[in-house]
Amino acid sequence: MVDTLGVAVVGFGWMGRVHTQAYARVRHHFPQLPLVPELVTVAEEVPGRAEEAAAQFGFASTTRDWREVAADPRVRAVSITAPNFLHREIGVAMAEAGKHIWIEKPVGLTAEDARAVADAVAEAGVRGTVGFNYRNAPAVEAARELIASGELGTVTHVRVRLFSDYAAHPEGALTWRYERERGGSGVLGDLASHGADLARFLLGTSRPSPRTRRSSCRSEPVPPGRRRDTAGPPAVTSARSRTRTTSAACCASPPGRAVSWRPAGSRSASRTTTASRCTAPRARCSGTSAV
């Protein structure tokens, strides 16, 4: 017997499309699942976009108001893939309506926003998770198992390097992501947070409370003459990211076993996760250190 889980997607930009494609394909990869997603509704305020999503992926209904999703009894779980400045309001409302939520990061514009969503999830007794999808890459799962097994000895540092050319094209449109008022922490929240999360995830099996010491990232000013996004108001502040983000620490000892992977069709550099045993008494570290 197979049961269904009514799901909704709020915000059908490029990440909303990614979530929808994952829902549509999950049974292709896991045919024995006893619970499968049913695409109930998609919410998107841009005219025509929700209807296009329904025609392509088979959502049963569409809406331009995400509040209708919260009131829909058919929906049991929601992917929140709207712009960052809407995450807190939508996340809290969905939790209070009894919906499980998968919310993209960063969860709002500030840590206070994220705590508000987390508190609402806990109070409502629903499940909530943040889109740290790199945790599920086979290389990362293998590295976590390797650390947990003790084969590497006592691991004190983990280095995670994330290379991305996202938003690097000089002719790309300026969107809400480049406005601090709507995008929040910018590239640190969007990309560097993956590195910090991976450090905690990898060391979490061997250390009870790994902590982040430092995170750094370089942003470049928006050059004059860049075209504006016609779907929204003009960007007024913040920086454009052409970033090489290094998260976790450098260790003076020789590196341990490394596992690399490259997503199919990706233009980005391969992702390499390296766990190392640190024997130097005072290793010099840079980037984000989880110890």
Q: pLDDT tens, 114-148?
A: 999 999 999 999 999 999 988 888 998 998 899 88
How many C-beta neighbours within 10 Å does residue 26 have?
A: 14
- Residue extents of the structural domains in the chain: 3-131, 134-276
Q: pTM for this structure?
A: 0.71
pLDDT at 273: 34
Name the pLDDT band for 220 (thresholds 50, 70, 90): low
Burial 215-248 (b: 16+ CB within 10 A, else e): bebeeeeeeeeeeeeeeeeebeebbbbbbebbbb
Element (H, E) at 128: strand 128-130
- CA atoms within a 13 Å half-sphere pointing along the CA-CB vector of 164: 19
Best CA proximity match to 33, nearest among 22, 43, 41, 48: 22
- Mean pLDDT score of the chain, rounded to an integer? 75
Higher pLDDT among residues 186 and 261, named by residue = 186
34-54: average pLDDT? 96
Greater confidence, 46 or 285? Answer: 46
List all residues 6 or more positions away from 24 whose beta carbon is below 8 Å from its beta carbon.
39, 57, 58
Retrieve residue 26's tokens: 């999950």
Greatest Cα pair distance in the chain: 61
| 142-181 tens-digit pLDDT | 988 998 898 888 887 777 777 777 677 777 777 777 777 7
Q: What is the CATH number of domain 3-131?
A: 3.40.50.720
* Per-residue model confidence (pLDDT) at position 186: 75
d(CA 7, CA 25): 14
